[in-house]
Structures are given as structure tokens and as C-alpha cells.
Structure 1
Amino acid sequence: MSRRRRGRSSAAPLEDEHLLPEILLRLPPLPCSLPRAFLVCERWRGIVSCARFLRRFREHHRRSPPLLGCFVEGISPVRFEPTLEGPNRVPQSRFPFPIAALHTYVILGCRHGLMLIFLWRRNQLLVWDPVTGDRHHLDVPPGFDNEETMIKGAVLRAAGGVHHFQVVLVGNSDIQLTQVVASVYSSETGAWSNLMSAPLPAAADPDVLTAVYHDMCSVMVGNSLYWLLVGHLFGILEFNLDTQSLSVIHAPVDVDVNTCSATVMRADGGGLGFLFLSGYCVKLWERKTNSDGVASWVLERTVALDKLLSMNSEEGSQSPRILMFAEENNVVLLWTYIGVFKVQFESLQFKKLLESYRFYRWFNYYPFEAVYTAVNQVI
């Protein structure tokens, strides 16, 4: 007796209607992920185009966003330069800089998909979301005189969501630059905190003062923000977000910013790290605490950059320069005479992002790490 073969049954749809959104939520946070899902079928299309799902997607991946590119400030107005390859490459025109007038602003940095800009003529701060286009103007709080105070700052998303943000403003408190002050703005309360202060090390020469270094943005490690200090002391300014306190840390080496470059970074173990570049020699330090609770710097690694990137150190007329640290991807952006690279010094992996003949050593580069869904371009 012959047996009838059963036909292959088609895959049954997911029985739990709430399961598919949870699966789609875990797609990689790359620009092409949701547009591709949008084209699969009508059901997927409805999920990934829902505003609530898009908010959840951005929030789910907020701590692991891709490096979409850099905002580059040079001889022309600030422009966005994409660094991802197709099909994830974001068009250069997608994030037009919101300020047309030159020489009226100072970019203070990017974090969590936001940019902080100091509008010094208005004595205001602008928090700008390049993805959504949202803008928030804040008045600079009392204690920060834009004519006498050297202002730096940082922006970050508030813990637990993507709707609120905080701004931390730091600067020297008076024309003598003898102490550093800070204040924190919360979009939840719409108010600035009371002014906090910490003394700066006294200088033997009154003409050599210590100030926050203007060419490097803040770096967030753990729940603290760090800025480089230059002048009488080359050190690190720490603002602890938990204790709302300021402190000054001596750097492991003295750095002449005219001939060398350095940045704070996240160390292998997640603690505070410091990267120093002189010529083609990179030194990585980590701050460790011993059993007695005493913290000190430990040299962890030395890297010959010319060998790592296959460069001839005698060819380039200009030595490499540290541009910025992209903290969510834990990579350092470096300018070299053969191009702009991102380097992950834990694994010694690197990738060329931009050509050096188009992007000069003295340009300012602001890495932009964000979750950009691009679904609206498909709908």
C-alpha cells in the first residue's frame, strides 16, 4: 500500500502578536536594519513604522550606537561627514548644521545623539538633536561670564530614557582662573543646580595659569565626565555625576599640546585610561587603585603607530594627531598624513574613515554616535 507524502507545511506565523516586535527590537542599530525590515511584509511594515516602536528601538540601543560619522569644523561651515559604508552610509545632507553664521558659536561636544553648542554672542547654550532636528536653548547660569570665563561643557541623556537630558557646564570662575566651577542643568526640572567649585593648583608663575583645554571635548567613563587641563598643570578635571563634585587628577605624563596630543579614554577594564601620542609612539595608561585605596597610573601598553598603520614615519611632513575619543565605540580618532583613522587600542583593530587630502590636521572633528533608523525615507 502506497503512502501519501505530506506536503511541506508553510511556516506558521508567530502566535504571540507581541513576540515579533520584541524580535525586531533586537535588530542591529544600523541605518539599513529597519528599512529592510519595512520591505518584508505589511505586518513588519506596520511595526517598524510605529512611532512607539521607533522610540523603543532607539532607547534599546542607546548605549551601543554606531559611529555614523563626524561633524567637521574647518575653513567652511560645519558639515557632517559620513563614515559608514553603504548601505548604512548616511547622506551628508541628512544632518545640516543648525547655525549659518560663522564665528558665533563653539561646539562643546556630542554624546548620546545630541550636540552641545555654546552661542557666545547670546550667552546661551543650544542642545541639538541632529536625528530629530529638535533644538533646546538654555541661558548660561550665573557664575559663567562669557567674557571672563573659559567655558566648556557636556551633554548626556538622562538615565532611564531618551526624552530628557542633562548639561554639565564647567569653567574657570574668575579672571584670575584660580578655581574651577560647575553647574548641572536638567531638562526634567528646567533648572540649573547651585554652583560647585574646586581649587586649581597654585602656579609659581602668575602668568602661567591652568584652564580647561579648548581643543578636546569631555569624555565619559563610568558615571564621571573628564576634561583635560592645560597651563601650569597638565591634568584631568573630573566631574562625578553621582556625588555632583569636582576634583583634579594629575596626568601620568606632562604634555606639551603644541607638539604632542593626549586624551582621556576608557581603559580595558572599564576604568579611567589615558592615551598619550608623541610622534608615532602611543602610550596607554590606566588608573588603578591598590589594596590601600591609593590610586596611581600604570603604563599598560606602548604602540608604534607607524608600524600598526603601515606608515613611513619619514614621509609625512606632519606627525599624527589625536582628534577625539568616540566613547560608545571605544575608539580613538587619529589624523595621519595617509588619512583619518579610528583605532581600537585594546584589539589594535583600525579602519580608515576619511582621506587626509580632504581633511586637514588642524580641523576639529566631533564624532557622532547615534541610532538613526532612516525608516521615514522608505515610507
Structure 2
Amino acid sequence: MSPAAPLDDENLLAEILLRLPPLPSTLPRASLVCKRWLLLVSDIRFFRRFRRRHRCSPPLPGCFVPDRGGVSYTPTMDSPDRVPAERFSLQLDGSCYSNPLGCRHGLVPISPNLWKQVLVWDPVTGDQHHISFPPGLDGIANSIHGAVRRAAGDGEVHHFQVILVGVVEVDKQHVGVLACVYSSDTGVWDNIISVLIPFDAYTTRVLKFDLERQSLAEIQLPVGMSEEELLQLTVMRAEGGGLGLLYISGFTTQLWKRKTDCDGAASWGMERTIELGKLLSLNPEKERVRPLIEGLAEYNNVVFLTTGDGVIMLQLESLQFKKFYEMSDGFYHYPFESVYSVGNQHW
């Protein structure tokens, strides 16, 4: 008896399809080949294996920016992987701006500036969760920052957490930072955690929120960073893991990493620098617009920069870059690093 052809062997076919590139069009196009391929790539067990195999490089189909009346989406990919802008744009209350608080694990937390609530939106499925601010933060809706985190694992139900951080002026010398966590599993907010910070040190600190311990801690920035350029700073995942910083001074990008020595003492160390002037063929003497950070895709390690030539996407490892669009709208961009959905499973 002759062996089955490679594509007739169910196990071998699955192994072949698992090696397809993790692009938005990959699984939908594979599902059109025949009914057998459709049943295979839409099977939840196959999807879990596909996601685990490509976990290190989720797709980056586009970015979200705030807009009057909703959230706008701008695609980054070309056809056939290009997701149309209208597919992931969201219309809400036309009387106010809707500010994204972040974008992670396929979810976008949004806080319309006239609402005292957070909207957690899944662009792929269209699901929306409206969550009222916790008492204590509902009075500072215009000073709210936040993030979302989806529970790890391959279960059928993926619960999520929302972390809100608010800043209040306590007196002329201090500001108070308040933090609170919501769990979709319990449907309630935890107790508010607070920390008092000297006003003159507020802009030179990174705040660390420990979800397990429910505690806030301050981390001082590296010495020598110019206070005038601290807006050109963003927290990122360091190369090799751990806490990192991306800092732009003039036409130079600095990549920093938080390190701990054998005695447990932590300090910052500069890992490398990128000369943006040379890389992007910019002339520091003639450029009126210095590179500005407009967004960071943490899993793809891509930073969005405004230059005099528009907005570019720069991959920090390969240093490959391409123009995102010609003009900058001045808004911070929230990269969307997710696209696949099978049942309740998401990238």
C-alpha cells in the first residue's frame, strides 16, 4: 500500500500550514482552498498551535488615534494584508474626543473625555465593555491614563484587567498618583492605591505598578536626561527582556535597560544608540522639525517617528524603515498588534 500524498496526510498538512507566515490574509486565504483546509484552519486546536508558534511576532496591521466622535484607524500594511480603515474605526459620541488609553492583547481601552467611564473595545469581534470609573477617580476624568491586560492562557474565556492611573495636585509641593485595577472576572474595581510624589520630581520618574502586590513604586530616570526633552521618552521592553527606555535627544535615539547587579542594586545602562540623522538622511542643521516619538509597537519593536518628511515606522533591531504617511496629525499613535480571531481566541 502506497503512502498517502503529503497534502492528504492530516497531521503533515497541519504541520505545513502551521509554517505559513502570520499575516492577516494567511488563514482566510488558506481557508478558501477547499473545505478540508477550511475545517483545519478554523479548528480551535489548530489556531492555538498557530498562535503559540508565532507568538513572538504578531501582525501589526495598523494604528489607532483619537478623533472627535470616536477612534480612527490607519492601516500599515499593503494588499492583500491591508485592513481597510473603516473596518476598525469606531464612532461614539460626536460631541467629544475619545482618547485611547493604550492597545494591548487585541483590546483597546478608550476614555471619551466627557464620560466617566472606560470603554474596552475588541476591534476584531466588535465587543464593547462599558466600565464606570471607580469612586475616587471619577472626579479627575481628564487626567486619566491607563492600560489593558488580557489574561494569559488558551482557555475558552479570556478575562481582562484594566489599570487606571490618575494624577491629582495635593499642594504646591506634591502630586498624588492614584491607581486602581478592574477585573472582568469579578466585575469590580480593587481598592485605590496611592503614592505621594514631590512636584519637581514628577516628570523624572517612571511609576511601576505591581499587579500581584497591588503596589506603586518610583523608578528614577537615568541621570542627564534633559527635562525639556522628556516628552521624547517612552517605556519599552528592553532587548533580551526587562524594563527599557527609548529616549530621543536631538537626532540621536538612545536605548536604555534597567539592570540588577549581584547585590540586588538596580541601575540604568545604555545599550546602544541610533543616529537618526544618518539613518534617515536628515540634515540636523536644516531640519526645523526634530524626530518626535508618536507611538511604539512593543512586540514588533517598531517606533513611529514624526520627521520633516512625515511619519515613519522604524524597526529598532533591523533599522529598516518605511514612510507611514506624508503628514502628521500630531496625535500619539496606538499600534494594534493583533488580528486573528477564532471563537473567543485572539492573538
State the TM-score bracket (shorter-chain normalisation). Answer: 0.7 to 0.9
CA shift for structure 1 position 57:
6.7
> Which among 244, 250, 254 is matched to residue 214 of structure 2?
244
* CA distance in 2 between partners of 1:336 and 1:325 (Å): 15
AA partner of residue 250 (structure 1): Q
> Which among 308, 313, 316 is matched to residue 287 of structure 2?
316
Equivalent position of 2:24 in the other structure: 31
CA shift for structure 1 position 134:
0.4
Equivalent position of 2:195 in the other structure: 198
Structure 1 residues 118 and 42, CA, compared in 2 at 3 Å: closer, same or farther?
Answer: same
Unpaired runs of 5+ residues, structure 2, are 343-347
CA shift for structure 1 position 283:
1.7
AA partner of residue 210 (structure 2): N
* CA distance in 1 between partners of 2:206 and 2:193 (Å): 17
The answer to whether 1:179 aligns with 2:151 is: no
Tell me how large the CA RMSD over aligned residues is: 3.1
CA shift for structure 1 position 348:
4.3
Structure 1 residues 56-113: Cα deviation after superposition (integer angstroms, max 9, x where no partner):
4785456632111111346896421111122211111111213241424322111111
Equivalent position of 2:340 in the other structure: 372
The answer to whether 1:126 aligns with 2:123 is: no
Structure 1 residues 268-323: Cα deviation after superposition (integer angstroms, max 9, x where no partner):
22121112112212222211111211111112222210101222233432111011
CA contact (8 A) 2:312 2:324 kept: yes
State the SS of the aligned residue for 2:103.
strand
> Which among 25, 32, 35 is matched to residue 42 of structure 1?
35
The higher radius of gyration belongs to 1
Structure 1 length as normaliser, TM-score? 0.78
CA contact (8 A) 1:113 1:369 kept: yes
Equivalent position of 2:264 in the other structure: 293
AA partner of residue 114 (structure 1): L
Q: Which has the higher helix share?
A: 2
CA shift for structure 1 position 352:
1.3
Structure 2 length as normaliser, TM-score? 0.85
Equivalent position of 2:253 in the other structure: 282
The answer to whether 1:84 aligns with 2:81 is: no
CA shift for structure 1 position 145:
3.3
Structure 1 residues 89 and 371, CA, compared in 2 at 3 Å: closer, same or farther?
Answer: same
Aligned length: 337
CA shift for structure 1 position 371:
2.4
AA partner of residue 187 (structure 1): S
CA contact (8 A) 2:161 2:184 kept: yes
* CA distance in 1 between partners of 2:20 and 2:194 (Å): 44
State the SS of the aligned residue for 1:349.
coil
CA shift for structure 1 position 9:
8.2
Structure 1 residues 195 and 31, CA, compared in 2 at 3 Å: closer, same or farther?
Answer: same
Alignment of 1:1-379 (within 5 A): 10-11=5-6, 13-14=8-9, 20-21=13-14, 24-25=17-18, 27-49=20-42, 52=44, 56=48, 60=52, 64-73=57-66, 78-147=71-140, 150-161=143-154, 163-172=158-167, 175-176=170-171, 178-200=175-197, 202-203=198-199, 210=202, 230=203, 234-252=204-222, 253-257=224-228, 261-345=232-316, 347-357=317-327, 359-360=328-329, 362-372=330-340
* CA distance in 2 between partners of 1:58 and 1:153 (Å): 30
CA shift for structure 1 position 242:
3.2
Unpaired runs of 5+ residues, structure 1, are 1-6, 211-229, 375-379
Identity %: 47
* CA distance in 2 between partners of 1:136 and 1:187 (Å): 9
Larger RCO, structures 1/2 (Cα 8 Å, 6+ apart): 1
* CA distance in 2 between partners of 1:81 and 1:150 (Å): 26
CA contact (8 A) 2:207 2:219 kept: yes
State the SS of the aligned residue for 2:30.
helix
Structure 1 residues 180-229: Cα deviation after superposition (integer angstroms, max 9, x where no partner):
221111111111111222221x24xxxx683xxxxxxxxxxxxxxxxxxx
State the SS of the aligned residue for 2:135.
coil
